[in-house]
Amino acid sequence: MTTPHALVSGASIAGLSTAFWLGRAGWDVTVVERADAFRDGGQNVDVRGKARDVLDRMGLEDDVRRLSTTEEGTAVLDDRGRAIARFPVEDPDGPTAELEILRGDLARTILEQLPAQVSVRFGTQIEDVRDAGSHVEVTWGQEQTRRYDLLVIAEGVRSRTRDRVFGTAVSKRELGLTMAYGTIPRTPDDDRWWRWYSAPRGRQITLRPDNTGTTRATLACTSRDNLADLPLDDARAALRATFADAGWQAGRVVDGFAASPDVYVDHLTQIMMPAWSRGRVCVTGDAAWCVTPLGGGGTSLAMIGGYVLAAYLTRAAPGGYADALARYEQWMRPLIDDTQKLPPGTPSLFYPESRAGVRALRLVARIGSTAPLRRLTSRISHVARTDQELPEMHRAGS
């Protein structure tokens, strides 16, 4: 029997997780990544719900714990930066999860444990895809066309290959919220809490600890303009103007972003697709179902998606991938639908326009942080949970 060969496009959480599991099951896997080298950047992400089981099955839980950002909880601040509501990490499903890690650390941890039959090629991307029925022909690299049993697109929310293959079947729902992430110098009064500060006109500043002695900052603002499409210096200038009178540590963060090497700007967009596969091509992770940080758990869902996809594929009869892809979708769909359903009024509910709206938000946080209501509040971060059992993986030789 010949060994199946998959091409995975995108070397971040979704692509590397899929490659990890397919490789472990004995498939040959080639991963192509557009960036010239491994992308180490990114801020704090968490591993929650079923992704904890996936991490455990990967045997990587201890590594992730060692790289923990050691965040102690989440605090909502008043105008003067004093905590008025606290959600400690001990709360099940609170905003701070038990396993918090920098995105780059998590991706590198998986990359370093890839089985030998997985090869990763940086600085290259797919130019053409042709589904020939019995195989898929993909052109990448030096214009060479190669044959694969399956193409997995894991290129993130703005995936070019997904758009090329699935065209108008891809719906993009912009949520009207820009988020900019960056790393700034730590100051002595930075604690180990994720601090949330809201200002009128839909603005929010957050600061989080990391494991490298710096502070991870986020600036979020409601806007129709897509700052993510601007050259980075223009986006920084727009953020400086927007946050000029936001108060608290706005000046420090804006100045810090001017010098930060890893500022990452995202205009939050949900991806919706009626089907995640077509013939021998499938999508996974943000490319398939981006839930955005408003839904939460995008990294956990990418890890679960990689596992579930690989589990069904490796159990399929050779060439019988259509059924496996349908089962992957059936398993993942309820989780994604649940996470993409946002409360009515999002994002303005959480990013109010008026000063009265900010006061109301803080009141809700304060009441929600009291002992009797904390469990209810924590349902907001209740993602990647399901009663479904993970499908078992077919291992090479078993």
Give the interface with ligand FAD as residue ranges (CB under 6 A). Answer: 9-15, 32-35, 39, 41-43, 45, 103, 125-126, 154-156, 159-161, 181, 264, 285-287, 293, 298-299, 302
Toward ligand FAD, which CB reaches closer, 159 or 339?
159
Buried b or exposed e, range 337-354, using 16+ CB within 10 angstroms:
eebbebeeebbeebbbee
Give me the least distance between CB of 266 and ligand FAD, in Å please.
7
> Which residue of the chain is nearest ligand FAD when measured via CB?
285
Toward ligand FAD, which CB reaches closer, 60 or 358?
60
Toward ligand FAD, which CB reaches closer, 125 or 340?
125
Six token digits for residue 251: 């000046």
Give me the least distance between CB of 10 and ligand FAD, in Å please.
3
Give me the least distance between CB of 159 and ligand FAD, in Å please.
6
Q: Distance between CA 176 and CA 171 in Å, rounded?
A: 15
Give me the least distance between CB of 8 and ligand FAD, in Å please.
9
Give me the least distance between CB of 293 and ligand FAD, in Å please.
5
Within 10 angstroms of residue 382's Cβ, the number of other Cβ atoms is 15
Toward ligand FAD, which CB reaches closer, 39 or 195?
39
Mark residue 193 as left, alpha or beta (left: phi above 0; alpha: psi -120 to 50; beta: remaining): beta
Toward ligand FAD, which CB reaches closer, 299 or 369?
299
Toward ligand FAD, which CB reaches closer, 126 or 310?
126
Burial of 116: CB neighbours in 10 Å, binned 0-12, 13-18, 19+ = exposed
Toward ligand FAD, which CB reaches closer, 270 or 377?
270
Give me the least distance between CB of 101 and ligand FAD, in Å please.
11
Q: Distance between CA 11 and CA 245 in Å, rounded?
A: 39
Buried b or exposed e, range 3-31, using 16+ CB within 10 angstroms:
ebbbbbbbbbbbbbbbbbbbbbbbbbbbb
Q: Radius of gyration of the chain from Cα atoms? A: 21
Q: Are 25 and 314 in contact (CB under 8 A)?
A: yes
Give me the least distance between CB of 289 and ligand FAD, in Å please.
9
Within 10 angstroms of residue 375's Cβ, the number of other Cβ atoms is 12
β-partners of residue 139 are 128, 145
